[in-house]
Amino acid sequence: MALRLPKLLLYILSSISVLSFGSFALISLKEKELRSARISGALALLISTVFLAVTFASQILQWWLIGFCALILVLFIIAFLMPIGEFPKMLEIPKSRFDERRVIFARARLQPGSERYHTYYKNHPEDFDVDEKWRGNPGLLSPETLFVEPFAFASAEASFSIPETLRETVDGHISSTVQTVNPQAASKYIKALGKYYGALDVGICKLQAYHIYSHIGRGTGTYGEPIELSHQFGIAITVEMDYEMIGANPKAPGLMESAHQYAEAARVAVQLAAAIRALGYPARAHIDGNYRVIAPLLARDAGLGEMSRMGLLITPRKGPRVRISIVTTDLPLIADEPTIDNSVIDFCTICKKCAEACPSQAIAYDDRHKVDGALRWRINPNQCYRYWTIAGTDCGRCMTVCPYAHADNLIHNLIRWGVKHSGFFRRVALVMDNLFYGKTPAQRPEPAWTKLIQDSDKH
């Protein structure tokens, strides 16, 4: 038996190699990640072959290889437990409220020559030259843009029309019959109801002044009017963006999915706010084009994720592949703990794949710095939006290449678990992600069904 033991162990190690790397190769094929499939398949073959080949060597060499593998495992476990990439947990809170009129999407709606246009640039002359650079470009969904696909653009425009249609329904009549509720039970019910309506996740926080824009820049109400929002709670809602659809970003299918999920997020929020008002409590939905709050910041404080280098919320299982809507209300609720996830901050500090892949180079490479009293990364919205006006889509390349954005399955979730719990593992995971997917990952092919009409026109 002693003579057979090392061979048995090598057979087991060979089988583990084939099973693990082979499974990863099959998953990668399903995800249309051809580079990852080739590399993981090759590793499955190579490593298992080495183990099997050593079974024909001397027993000393067999035990040496087994011992080497055991040593690597022990060293990995020790390194996994070391406090690498850790720093004090602090909730980064801005000192002041942000004026929505300064948001790039509000500036894009200014009509050249109008009184509002002249007033804005008189007050903010630093924005004039940069805005004029993109104002002359074709624009989002334009037929003259780089990635124009008429049928995909029409589909995206249809989805964008939903939040526009719902913009007047974000608030409304409050029932005169006020239902008495237990805050804990109400919180559980609201979260379950949000998911029933179609949300991926729902979180609750105490509404703070820094969550709320200072002045109206878009949506209902009077442009430039100070925002007074006295609600006690914010309910953050996320909806998932499809992994396959965003794979070809910055091409049109990603825009289709972005628009579709903005519509879904709006639908969930409008229903949830209406349900709360029917219970006798004020509630307002905050949806695409009609926000009164800064959605990612509120979602972080509602425990749904952490802010990233690219300025998007990183959620536990979908990464940045989410769209967010908000409901603010006075319904008595229990707030969740805000997310302070140093593993995300540490990973974003060392990763920089979004910055490498950004077509407009709008994402910073440096570490976080103080912005209005809060440590954060800040993208350059002018460069980002300027690219949108040339591409015709909302790009989303940063979202696609983010390692957190991989598909939600067993293997990727095991890696996410390791990334969350170990600074050493984060560094190993980044090296492996660069190996399997590339430092600037290739675009995945557009879903075949999105090309059906265009392909038929070619024949």
Amino acid at 430: L
Q: Which residue has the tokens 């709670």?
A: 233
Helix-helix angle 34-54:423-437, to 10 degrees: 110
- Residue 307, Cα to own-chain centre: how many angstroms? 9
Amino acid at 405: A
Phi then psi dihedrals of residue 370, to 5 deg:
-70, 125
Distance CA 251, CA 256 (A): 9
Q: Which whole number is the average pLDDT over 112-120? A: 95
Sorted by sequence, the CB contacts under 8 Å of residue 29 that are 6+ apart come out as 37
| Residues 126-135: tens digit of each pLDDT | 999 999 999 9
Distance CA 258, CA 153 (A): 12
Distance CA 416, CA 212 (A): 32
Q: Please say if the pLDDT value at position 457 is more than 90.
A: no
In 10 A of CB 39, how many CB atoms?
19
Q: Which whole number is the average pLDDT over 215-239? A: 96
Tell me the residue length of the chain: 459
| Residues 174-217: tens digit of each pLDDT | 999 999 999 999 999 999 999 999 999 999 999 999 999 999 99
| Residues 294-342: tens digit of each pLDDT | 999 999 999 999 999 999 999 999 999 999 999 999 999 999 999 899 9
* Residue 417, pLDDT score: 97
Distance CA 310, CA 402 (A): 9
Split at pLDDT 50, 70, 90, the class of 1 is low
Question: Strand, coil or helix: what is 243?
Answer: helix
What string of H, E and C letters represents the secondary structure of 134-156? HHCCCCCCCCCCCCCCHHHHHHH
* Residue 241, pLDDT score: 98
Amino acid at 157: E
* Residue 3, pLDDT score: 60
Q: What is the mean pLDDT of the chain?
A: 95
Name 203's bridge partners: 236
Please tell me the pTM assigned to this model.
0.94
Q: Are 13 and 50 in contact (CB under 8 A)?
A: no
DSSP count for the chain of H helices, then E strands: 18, 8
Split at pLDDT 50, 70, 90, the class of 458 is low
The candidate with the shortest Cα–Cα distance to 223, out of 134, 136, 114, is 114
